[in-house]
Amino acid sequence: MSTGAHLAADTSMGAVTLNVADLDTMTAYHRDGVGLTVLEQTGPKVTLGRPGRPVVVLVRTPEPRYASPGEAGLFHTDILLDTEAALAAALDERGLTREPIGDARVGHIHLSVGDVATARDFYATRLGFDVTLALGDQAVFVSAGGYHHHMAMNVWKSGGAGRRQQTLGLGRVDIEVLSDDDVGELTERMRHYRIPIQDDGATVRFEDPWANTVRLSTASHPKGTESSPNSVIGPDAL
């Protein structure tokens, strides 16, 4: 197979899963502060987003441990809102709860990693994103289809970090493609590079070099434009 394959141009980010200590507080933050709708709540898990489009999945972690300074993991999540009215509602300084407005989705996920060269090799060479911006040995930004970036990796707080242990923060990164053929192509690419995968027939999971879990699946919702300038940055510490 070709080792220079790229992710399909219509690839997008799916919901981000976050391990949290205080499920009620973090649910309130994403519902009332960001303006997402609670789609499902079952036991220790709450899914928020828009009907048919999960954006954030919160999972209460039974034995929480906060990541130490310098560890790899989540730097931040960018949530795109499709109208200025939706952004204004999310940023309402009066703290008023409003009805959700418009669409919402994950714009990009930014990770803290141990070194940029390894991150570039994994996310661009192996996974198939295109590099859109490289800041020397400090950060790299990658995307599919010409979007400014779907993911970014930096060493600003985490240079030299090794594989993550179980901590609060990032639980899983979801990447969505349009077809089963796209999933199959990436599965073969991971096998080519001898990256261990878990394939349940519908989704494929694997880990990056810092033990961040990535899940690939076909999209369950129509794609919207990726050019919205209206966004809210989610917390990197939960």
pLDDT digit string, tens, across residues 86-143? 555 555 544 444 556 678 999 999 999 999 999 999 999 999 999 999 999 999 999 9
Residue 156's contacts (CB-CB under 8 Å, 6 or more residues apart) are: 75, 112, 138, 139
Share of the chain above pLDDT 70, in %: 82
> For residue 172, what pLDDT band results from cuts at 50, 70 and 90?
very high
* 4 Rama class: left (phi>0) / alpha (psi -120 to 50) / beta: alpha
Residue 64's contacts (CB-CB under 8 Å, 6 or more residues apart) are: 19, 20, 21, 167, 168
The label of the residue with tokens 């970036």 reads: 149
> For residue 64, what pLDDT band results from cuts at 50, 70 and 90?
confident
Domain boundaries, the chain: 12-232
Identify which has the larger pLDDT, 221 or 207: 207
Query: Residue 80 belongs to what H/E stretch?
Result: strand 73-81
**Is pLDDT above 60 for 13?**
yes
Q: Tell me the C-alpha distance between 76 and 122, whole Å.
A: 19
Residue 117 CB neighbour total at 10 angstroms: 10
Over residues 48-61, mean pLDDT: 95
Q: For residue 222, what pLDDT is reported?
A: 40
Upper half-sphere CA count for residue 180 (Cβ side, 13 Å): 4
Residues 174-199: pLDDT tens digits? 999 989 999 999 999 999 999 999 99
Answer yes or no: are the C-beta atoms of 47 and 54 closer than 8 Å: yes
The CATH T-level fold of domain 12-232 is 2,3-Dihydroxybiphenyl 1,2-Dioxygenase; domain 1 (3.10.180)
**Which two three-digit tokens encode residue 18?**
């976050």
**Is pLDDT above 90 for 201?**
no
Question: Quick one: how far is CA 100 from the chain centroid?
Answer: 21
